[in-house]
């Protein structure tokens, strides 16, 4: 059988390497065995400490409703304003790019666009 550039000798060396266990695998298995011996066993939570049930939490939350900072009716106005401010600041940053303007104009512009996009998605929804 022709050798084809040492292919036969290379495959025989690979087979011999795969048959013998390397020292790194035995080292890793001994580390795993040490971790198993020194691990702390699982300690269950005392059920007496958790006396609040889900129903109790639900009933107590009904007396304290969530009031958002931005009302649902004004999401469109806030989102449109933020997007407009962000686009104007982006244009201003594009005209005068410098290292000083990155924290002064660039970062507020990107944050304004990001929050404006979220508010607009909340206002008009996503229809696909």
* Per-residue pLDDT reduced to its tens digit, 88-126: 999 999 998 889 999 999 999 999 999 999 999 999 988
What does the pLDDT read at residue 35? 55
Delimit the domains of the chain by residue range.
9-33, 72-124
pTM above 0.85, yes or no: no
What does the pLDDT read at residue 106? 93
Comparison of pLDDT for 20 and 19, the residue scoring more: 19
DSSP string, the chain: ---TTTHHHHHHHHHHHHHSPPHHHHHHHHHHHHHHHHPPPP-PPPTTT----HHHHHHHHTTS----SS-GGGHHHHHHHHHHHHHHHHHHHHHS--TTHIIIIIHHHHHHHHHHHHHHHHHH----
* Per-residue pLDDT reduced to its tens digit, 36-77: 555 566 666 555 555 567 878 788 888 888 888 998 899 999
């Amino acid at each position: 059988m022709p050798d084809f550039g040492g292919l036969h000798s290379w495959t025989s060396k690979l087979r011999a390497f795969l048959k013998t266990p390397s020292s790194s695998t035995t080292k890793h298995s001994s580390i795993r065995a040490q971790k198993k011996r020194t691990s702390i066993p699982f300690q269950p939570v005392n059920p007496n400490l958790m006396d609040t049930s889900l129903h109790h939490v639900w009933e107590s939350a009904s007396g304290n409703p969530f009031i958002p900072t931005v009302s649902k009716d004004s999401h469109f106005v806030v989102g449109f304003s933020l997007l407009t401010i962000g686009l104007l600041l982006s244009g201003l940053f594009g005209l005068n790019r410098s290292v000083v303007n990155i924290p002064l104009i660039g970062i507020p512009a990107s944050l304004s666009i990001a929050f404006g996009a979220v508010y607009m998605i909340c206002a008009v929804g996503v229809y696909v």
